[in-house]
Amino acid sequence: MVKKMEEDEFLDKKDMAIIDYLKQNSRQSTYQISKKIGIPITTVHNRIKKLEKEGIIKQYSLVLDQKKIGNTITVYILVHYNISVWKKEADRYLLGKYLSALPNIVEIKYITGRFDILLKFYVKDMEMLNNIIMKDLRKIPGIGQTETIFVLDDIK
């Protein structure tokens, strides 16, 4: 798979292979990736540095096992907000700050359709979810209708 990077540069199969291995486990060493792909370690190192410099690799992150830390319920909340309260770009930034401060939030997406925002949470129980919705989310100015969706099982 070839993707455009800049005007005359493209991601080739080697770049994509490196990215695929880093997506599986970003703590893999360049030596480990080199052995799996079959290219020299210095090539892997240089390509990773190039991908970072070009902004293709933005960050490395940590994935927690939410169940092992007590958050057994995955919840998505669809949110409709009053556009007259949050109509300017600066207002949307402030809304994002309010939403980012919600307990146990892991994702915030502006979306299309009946709702405006999709929120993802991990919670330990229904009481925690109720507190997030009723005491935190509903106190944000302009927040209107919400719809809560529970994840029954992950597909992997």
- Print the domain residue range for 107: 66-150
* Same domain, residue pair 131 and 88: yes
Task: Using pLDDT thresholds of 50, 70 and 90, give the confidence band for residue 55.
Answer: very high
**Tens digits of residue pLDDT in 79-126:** 998 877 877 777 778 888 899 999 999 999 999 999 999 999 999 999
* Same domain, residue pair 36 and 94: no
- Mean pLDDT (whole number) for 67-89: 88
Higher pLDDT, 20 or 90: 20
CA distance 136 to 123: 14
Is pTM beyond 0.75? Reply is: no
Largest CA-CA distance found in the chain, in angstroms, rounded: 57
* Same domain, residue pair 23 and 75: no
